[in-house]
Chain A
C-alpha cells in the first residue's frame, strides 16, 4: 500500500503548510500578505511623519525636539517597510514569484485605502482606475513569469 503512504505524506505536508509548524514556518502566501501589509504600513508611517515634519517646520520658532521626533518617525516607517521586504524575501525563497506577484500587486490598493482613511486624501475615479490597472498589470507579470524561461 505504497499509494496510501504517499497520500498520508501529502496530507501531512498540506497540513504543515496550512498552519505554522513547530519551526515557525508559514505558508509563502501568508508571508507575502504580511510583507504587503508591513510595506504599506511602513510607507504610511513615513508619510505621517513627513506631514508632522511639515507642520513642525512651518511653525515660527524652530522646535528641534519635535523635528527630531518627526525624523525618528521617518526612520521607524522605513524600518517597518524593511521588515516587509524581509518577509517578501522569505516568501520568495519558498514559492515561485509567479504565485506571489498577484499578492504584492495589492500593495497599491492597500496604500491608497490607507491614504484615504488616514490622511483624507481625495482620490478621483481616474486615480482609482489607474491603481486597478497597475495592479492588473503587475499581477499579469506572474503569468508571463510562469510561462517564460526561468
Chain B
C-alpha cells in the first residue's frame, strides 16, 4: 500500500485537530453553543489517531521522504483557517503556501 494514503489521513486529522484547538480556546460565533470541552476531545482524538498513522507510515517509508511531506499541513491549515475560521490570508502568505506546495510535490514525486 502506498504510504501516501495514511500520510494524507494523518495530515488531514492534524489540521482538523488544529482547527478544533482554535475553536476550543477562542470560541467561534457559530460554535458558541458547543462547549469547549467537546473541541478539546476532538483535538485529542484527532491528534492521537494522526500520531498512530504517522507511526504506520514511518515503519515502511524513508523518513527523508515522509517527514517533508508533513509540510502539506501548512497548506491544509491555511485553507481551513480561511474557510472555517474566516481568517484573512495576506497575499504573501498565499505565496508562501504556493512555494511549500511546490516543494511537497517535488519531494512526493519520487519515493
Contacts and interface: CB of A to CB of B under 8 A. Distances in A.
B93 A130 contact: no
B92 interface: yes
A44 B99 contact: no
Interface string B77-111: 00000000000111011011111111111111110
Nearest to A149: B88
A147 B88 CA distance: 12
Given A50-B55, A50-B58, A127-B106, A137 B74 contact: yes
Given A134-B104, A138-B74, A140-B92, A46 B58 contact: yes
Q: Do most interface residues of chain B lie in helix, strand or loop, or is the interface mixed?
A: helix
B107 A137 contact: no
Interface residues of B, number: 34
Nearest to B92: A144
Interface in B39-96: 51, 55, 58-60, 62-65, 67-68, 71, 74, 88-90, 92-93, 95-96
Nearest to A54: B59
Contacts of B102: 133, 137
* Interface size range on A against B: 35 or more
A140 B59 contact: no
Contacts, number: 116
Q: Do most interface residues of chain A lie in helix, strand or loop, or is the interface mixed?
A: helix
Interface in A77-109: 78, 108
A120 B53 CA distance: 24
Nearest 3 Cβ contacts at the A-B interface: A130-B106, A133-B103, A134-B103
29 contacts: A46-B58, A47-B63, A50-B55, A74-B55, A108-B68, A112-B67, A115-B64, A121-B64, A124-B110, A126-B107, A131-B64, A131-B68, A131-B103, A131-B107, A132-B103, A133-B102, A137-B71, A137-B97, A137-B102, A137-B103, A138-B71, A138-B96, A140-B95, A140-B96, A143-B96, A144-B90, A144-B93, A148-B88, A148-B93
Interface of A: 43-44, 46-47, 50, 53-54, 74, 78, 108, 111-112, 115-116, 119, 121-124, 126-127, 129-138, 140-141, 143-145, 147-149
Interface of B: 51, 55, 58-60, 62-65, 67-68, 71, 74, 88-90, 92-93, 95-110
